[in-house]
Amino acid sequence: MRTSPRSLILGLLLCLAFPVAGFGSAYNARPKLVVIIVIDQFRGDYLERYRDQWGEGGFRLLLEHGADFTDCNYDYANTRTAPGHATLLTGAYSNGHGIMANEWWDAQKKATVAAADDDQTKLVGIPGGGPGASPHNLLADTLGDELKLATQGKSRVFGVALKDRASVLPAGFAADGAYWIDRASGAWITSTYYRNELPKWAQDFNSNKREEKYLNQEWKDSNGNVLRTTKPVEGKAGNFYDLVGSTPLANDYEFEFARELITYEKLGNGPATDLLILSLSANDILGHKVGPDSPEMQAMALATDRQLAGFFEFLGHQIGLANIWIALSADHGLAPLPKIAAGLRLPAANITSDKIRAQVNSGLSARLAHPAEYVKEFDYPVAWLNPEAFAAVKVSEQDAERDVGEALKQAGLRAYYTRFQLERGDAPNTELGLKYLHSYSPLAGWYVLGVPPPFTIGFVGGTDHATPYNYDTHVPLAFYGLPFQTGTYRTRAEPVDLVPTLASLLGINAPTHSIGRVLTEMLVPARRGATTSNGGPDRNSPAVEGRNFWPASDGFISTKTRAARMRTTTLQVGGPR
């Protein structure tokens, strides 16, 4: 059809009259794909600590061309992997999503159960797969679930991690797939909750024995020093998770799988916004062994930076960075190795939680004149009680939890909160009290949350997280994409702010129990002069340190223009080819 001169002129006039028509809001340009990268154990200070060592296109893509929140802290005490991943994608704390630990004592089953375990399902992808995993313990839905609801299932949602809990919980109920590995063989698996057999591409991935190239490797630092090897010990059956897990090779393996998933599932090519949650597990496995201040952890962080750069480059070529939003965070931080902290004269110690559990049990056995295993599980600083043992001596939950709490104090913990007490909202009106109210879950039986002294670790020979202290709660929170105004933001933020912000921009509901706020300070103003008097992003705000990636005069940048610039960024990320 030919365009008449009259309609051309009319069109031109319309364009002049409404220069932002169609771009009234920068956010109307829905991305093709949202990628949320969760680094399993990455403390909020690392991005700053190694800032001058980051290469191009990895963390710098977010730090220099995205929005970086430097002061993001979890506002709860149980800073563990399962709660952290659930928090990030539900926008709620444990009192909303129900996941308060990785594992807990199940009095009915008389067994320890893990957060994503589901006996009603079977593992898929390994012969004779045992009990599988599902999000059935979640009491709240996720960003992916809301995307699914808003698009009547057209959005596609996937989770990938080495650990089931880090893949299944953030992906949510309606996810198309969640993948993790069989720890022994390294094979990628899923559960019958999602499907009865692996998709062809994942079967091929496993049958090509891709995991083998990560074995018998040396991990070297930039000076060529061998930090670790993935060579199985002679005469011992190699366990992929143990051998490869604590090296950057494990993250390479995850990225390789994620690339295949994006390619074969055609993520970013559908009729609606797709979502991928990728949790990098290797950082956590190593961190527990060597602590946050070791040269190995630095080498791991630098390797993660290069791996991210490679992945972002792949996304740029595959889908175009202008079509993608990226968010980066972590499920928790990490305490320094006690010997490092003690060396600086901070009060710090490795203690043995088995000893504390034995001490509590023998104390209670004497006091109640009835020997029993009153505390079944003690994952420092949290104790799970054995209701049966207390019932035998006619002690109520309230009294049982108080008795255990007092025994924990005797054993050196500073204070305690009981399940009974938290269920009633009975906590002091303090910052710490609120953190423990946020840690409550009606799941997980009878329990007592001990308040540990800072810098105490519940086992010997490494370090841990799971406290309300800043070294555990401080995590990165950074965004890259068209709606996000480049800058360093020192305003207070929480991981629960991630999904309500994305939901708002996507024009969908936030997850059911989301309590976070929309991080409005980082959003590109929707219209000229709509937000600040000078018509541009407020670069004078003391909380924002603009990186000047967009010219300062560019008060309003249309989606089209920004998209064009993003493509330029894509090229820069790619670098010389």
Q: Which residues bind Zn ion (CB under 5 A)?
A: 40, 81, 284, 331
Work out how close the CB of 81 gets to Zn ion at its nearest, in angstroms, rounded to a whole number. 3
Tokens of 516: 């976070």
In this structure, what DSSP letter does residue 511 have?
Answer: P
d(CA 54, CA 58): 7
Work out how close the CB of 466 gets to Zn ion at its nearest, in angstroms, rounded to a whole number. 10
Nearer to Zn ion, 39 or 360 (CB): 39
Work out how close the CB of 242 gets to Zn ion at its nearest, in angstroms, rounded to a whole number. 17
Tokens of 182: 């069989």
Q: Which residue is nearest to Zn ion (CB)?
A: 81
Work out how close the CB of 384 gets to Zn ion at its nearest, in angstroms, rounded to a whole number. 19
Nearer to Zn ion, 83 or 91 (CB): 83
Work out how close the CB of 49 gets to Zn ion at its nearest, in angstroms, rounded to a whole number. 19
Nearer to Zn ion, 40 or 141 (CB): 40
Nearest to 485 by CA among 413, 408, 552: 552
Give burial (CB, 10 Å; 0-12/13-18/19+) of 552.
exposed
Query: What is the Cβ-side half-sphere exposure of residue 281, based on CA atoms within 13 angstroms?
Result: 22
Nearer to Zn ion, 284 or 464 (CB): 284
Nearer to Zn ion, 242 or 373 (CB): 242
Q: Write down the H helix ranges in 133-208.
A: 143-150, 164-171, 200-207
Work out how close the CB of 223 gets to Zn ion at its nearest, in angstroms, rounded to a whole number. 29
Q: Own/partner pairs for 436-440, CB < 8 Å, 24+ apart?
A: 436/76, 436/77, 436/468, 437/95, 438/75, 438/76, 438/77, 438/93, 438/94, 438/95, 439/76, 439/77, 439/78, 439/83, 439/93, 439/94, 439/95, 439/100, 440/94, 440/95, 440/100
Return the ∠ at Cα 21 (arms to 18 and 567), rounded to 5°.
125
Nearest to 341 by CA among 453, 475, 468: 453
d(CA 494, CA 69): 9
Nearer to Zn ion, 176 or 284 (CB): 284
Nearer to Zn ion, 25 or 439 (CB): 439
Work out how close the CB of 84 gets to Zn ion at its nearest, in angstroms, rounded to a whole number. 6
Work out how close the CB of 284 gets to Zn ion at its nearest, in angstroms, rounded to a whole number. 5
In this structure, what DSSP letter does residue 509 have?
Answer: P
State the Cα torsion 412-418-419-420 to the nearest 10°: 160
Nearer to Zn ion, 61 or 475 (CB): 475
